[in-house]
């Protein structure tokens, strides 16, 4: 039986658990070009204050999702990059779906008109999750960056807020 999962906002006091899950994602080698989870101050400075969610069960954080701006230019203030991470021990339980669903709903309330995600081609579970929730592939970036000396390709995905556009 899957335990009851709550989706709640998170803040600085949750960072140790959030960063641990982030590092586990980083360690897969197909979640991000980052190699080390940042400290709270650096992470906080690059993400919106709204749209920060954690998945909690039995008072343990098991996943998180957040948005970061894609540009400092005002014209792009309604465009955000999606991050979703679930503890590997909790995969295949629908947690990513719950987190991303909540993130999408709140982003629309906050006036975000485009959500985008740049996903490693090898990260098929993340690509499927995004597609399931209405994201569409809009591009392919070949050898867009290196991680530990290896080039990676990314699939570009986006979801438009139909209430605004």
pTM for the full predicted model: 0.91
Q: What is the pLDDT of residues 45-89, one digit of tens each?
A: 999 999 999 999 999 999 999 999 999 999 999 999 999 999 999
Residue 165 placed within a domain = no
For residue 1, being part of any structural domain is answered with no
pLDDT for the residue 165 = 66
Angle between helices 95-109 and 124-132 (to 10 degrees): 50
| 102 domain-assigned | yes
In a domain, 152, yes or no: yes
Residue 93 lies in a domain: yes
* CA distances to 66, 107, 165 from 44, in Å: 10, 17, 29
Q: Is residue 54 part of a domain?
A: yes
Decide if 34 is inside a domain: yes
- Count the domains in the chain: 1
User: DSSP string spanning 85-131?
Assistant: EE-GGGTTSSHHHHHHHHHHHHHHHTT--EEEEEEETT-HHHHHHHH
Four-point Cα dihedral 37, 101, 156, 85, nearest 10? 20
CATH number, domain at 153?
A: 3.40.630.30
Residue pLDDT, tens place only, 121-138:
999 999 999 999 999 999
CB atoms inside a 10 Å sphere around CB 8: 13
Reported as a single tens digit per residue, the pLDDT across 2-12 is: 568 999 999 99
Residue 134 lies in a domain: yes
Domain that holds residue 125: 6-160
75 vs 79: CA distance, rounded Å: 9
């Amino acid at each position: 039986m899957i335990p009851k999962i709550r989706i709640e906002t998170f803040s600085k006091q949750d960072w140790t658990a959030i960063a641990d899950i982030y590092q586990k994602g980083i360690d897969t080698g197909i979640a991000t070009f980052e190699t080390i989870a940042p400290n709270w101050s650096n992470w906080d400075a690059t993400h919106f204050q709204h749209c920060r969610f954690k998945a909690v069960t039995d008072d343990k954080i098991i996943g998180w999702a957040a948005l970061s701006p894609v540009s400092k230019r005002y014209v792009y203030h309604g465009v955000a990059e999606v991050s979703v991470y679930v503890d590997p021990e909790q995969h295949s339980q629908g947690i990513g779906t719950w987190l991303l669903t909540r993130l999408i709903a709140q982003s629309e309330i906050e006036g975000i008109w485009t959500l985008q995600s740049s996903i490693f081609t090898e990260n098929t579970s993340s690509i499927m999750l995004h597609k399931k929730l209405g994201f569409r592939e809009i591009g392919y970036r070949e050898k867009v960056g290196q991680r530990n000396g290896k080039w990676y390709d990314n699939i570009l995905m986006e979801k438009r807020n139909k209430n605004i556009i």
